[in-house]
Structure 1
Amino acid sequence: MLLAVLISNSEGNILIELRKDHIGEFFLVKLGADNLKGARNEELFVASHKLVYVIYTVIGDVCLYVVGKDEYNELALAEVIFIITASIRDVCQKPPSERLFPDKYGRICLCLEEIVWKGVLENTEKERINRLIRLKPPTNI
């Protein structure tokens, strides 16, 4: 099960949070603050505690954390974080920044909800995700 997807700025303020279960945000942000200094863009980092896995990275000037357990081990989470970073890059159309997030907040949240639904990986195809988040009104048939 996917427990959480968090996006924070470099100071540790959470910009977007998608949670299925209670996860210590402070722990994740502290983990990232210690390890992400000087990290290359989209370089993956892995942590685990008991049966919970955390994959995190820097994309632009924001930090992305994906937390899972059971069948969502570090390999499955790497696939999840890859599609999330690709979708965020497509929505922002330039390297994501804390300043850009308020303008793109709605579309980024829609992307996350299309990728992760109720703790399960739902969509992994970028083209399908882009079609689903267009926000066009339904057509009458």
Structure 2
Amino acid sequence: MILAVLFANAEGNILIERFHGVPAEERLHWRSFLVKLGADNLKGTKNEELLVACHKSVYIVYTVLGDVSIYVVGKDEYDELALSEVIFVIISAVKDVCGKPPTERVFLDKYGRICLCLDEIVWKGHLENTEKDRIKRLIRLKPPTEF
């Protein structure tokens, strides 16, 4: 299961978060842990360079895209390899929506469309869609023409 997808700015403020199957009382722990992990390790990394960590029997894959840090947390069948596929789909969708690796301002301007993309990519803790064209069609809020 994909437990969490978080986006944070350079100062460590959470921009978007999606938790699946994580109790409310544990979410604060995960937020602070992930932001601290990024602050310690993401300095000087290149865009889309993936870093991997393991904590409490879960896997974490994280990276930087423009001014935004992206964290994906998973367990069981979502090991570091599966999470790297998830994060690449998310990166691709964010770059499509923003037109380039985003600054924080561009990211927040496109907040709604990015949330729609996330909802199409990860649904109830599982990877749902990986195709860019299908995600673009689904976020237009029109019914799909082909099944």
TM-score by length of 2: 0.90
After superposition, give the CA deviation of every residue in 1:35-58 in whole Å (9 maximum; x if it has no partner): 000000100000002320000000
Per-residue CA deviations over 1:46-87 (Å, capped at 9, x if unaligned) read 000232000000001100000000000000000000000000
* Offset at residue 101 of structure 1 (A): 2.0
Aligned-partner residue type, residue 14 of structure 1: I
- Residues 90-112 of structure 1, C-alpha deviation per residue, up to 9 Å, x if partnerless? 00012211111221011000000
Matched, 1:8 2:8: yes
SS of the aligned residue for 2:115 comes to helix
Q: Distance in 1 between matches of 2:111 and 2:60?
A: 23
Identity %: 72
**1:135 CA displacement:** 2.9
User: Equivalent residues in 2 for 1:90-109 (5 A)?
Assistant: 90-109=96-115
User: More helix per residue: 1 or 2?
Assistant: 2
SS in 2 for 1:3: strand
1:132 to 132, 138, 143: 138
Alignment map for 1:11-50 (pairs within 5 Å): 11-20=11-20, 21=22, 22-23=26-27, 24-50=30-56
| Count of residue pairs brought into register by the alignment | 139
Alpha-carbon distance in structure 1 between the residues aligned to 2:10 and 2:130? 27
Q: Which string of whole-angstrom CA distances, capped at 9 and with x for unpartnered residues, describes residues 4-41 of structure 1?
A: 00000011000011111144100000000000000001
Equivalent positions of 1:69-80 (< 5 A) are: 69-80=75-86
Counterpart of 1:12, as a letter, is: G
Taking the TM superposition and a 5 Å limit, the aligned residue runs for 1:49-88 are 49-88=55-94
Structural RMSD (CA): 1.5
CA distance in structure 1 between the partners assigned to 2:90 and 2:122 by the alignment: 9
Separation in 1 of the partners of 2:144 and 2:129? 21
TM-score (norm 1): 0.94
Long gaps (5+) in structure 2: none
